[in-house]
Amino acid sequence: MHIAILTPSRGRPSGLRNLVQTVVKHSSGNHKVSFEHYIDYDDPFYPKYVEELKGFEGVGSRITLGPPQSVSKSWNDIAKIAINNGADILMMGNDDLIFNTSDWDNILVEETKKFPDKIYCMWFNDGINDGKHCAFPIVSSLWFRTVGHFSPGIFNFLYNDTWIFDIAKRIGRCHYIPQVAAEHLHFSTGKSKKDETSKRYRGISKIFSKLNKTHIFEKDKVIFQNTESLRIEAAERLKIIMSSKKK
């Protein structure tokens, strides 16, 4: 099986290296694991990314350099690249995530066998949400092709994971894998500091629109609420696949 980890990143070359390094360190070697990274072309740390990721090209670590945009668009852009390169499984990655469980890839592949129709939304233990919320969703290439996207590309910052999770709940295909630890070193937990990247997306200049003073997190909430019909449609498409596989 080919597992692709999708990670937009900005200003965190060391964090991205730690993700790749821990994923590789704890992989069994029985499955192909690749990495698709999206870096903004105006990121001053781009040369550092190249330096930090040097040596990982052999395990399929690839940088896509593109215009600054929301992670909602970036995750989908690199998901398409992963699919075009033969990925069977797509995982939402982050540059403050590290893997701590040996043979995590074997465990994941075994869990996918519980869904022979290949329609599922899985997630690991991130040390924050446990089984309550799918913070870093894992879906199949068939899910991607059926729905037409990985992330919807419509959000400013939040709700991309919630979007996928909501669709999965509608079809009864949420599957938590607690035995695999993929730890989220989020600044709110004290496991990392609030850096310039956090401030860029969570600071005052980004939280409030200069035009209407609307909180961008509230904007994403409104977008999510107003696009339920799209998730219903996506769920119905997946249900058709699930039904056809039973015949």
Residue 209 lies in a domain: no
Residue 92 lies in a domain: yes
If one counts the domains in the chain, the total is: 1
Q: In the chain, which stretches have pLDDT less than 70?
A: 186-214, 247
pLDDT for residue 247? 61
**H/E/C letters for each residue in the chain?**
CEEEEEEEECCCHHHHHHHHHHHHHCCCCCCEEEEEEEEECCCCCHHHHHHHCCCCHHHCEEEEEECCCCHHHHHHHHHHHHHHCCCCEEEECCCCEEECCCCHHHHHHHHHCCCCCCCCEEEEECCCCCCCCCCCCEEEHHHHHHHCCCCCCCCCCCCHHHHHHHHHHHHCCEEEEEEEEEEECCHHHCCCCCCHHHHHHHCHHHHECCCCCCEHHHHHHHHHHHCHHHHHHHHHHHHHHHHHHHC
**Containing domain of residue 51, as a range?**
2-201+214-246
Residue 206 lies in a domain: no
Residue 98 lies in a domain: yes
pLDDT for residue 73? 98
pLDDT for residue 204? 42
pLDDT for residue 196? 52
Residue 168 lies in a domain: yes
Question: The domain spanning residue 49 has which CATH number?
Answer: 3.90.550.10
Residue 229 lies in a domain: yes
pLDDT for residue 214? 58
Residue 207 lies in a domain: no
Report pTM: 0.89
pLDDT for residue 169? 98
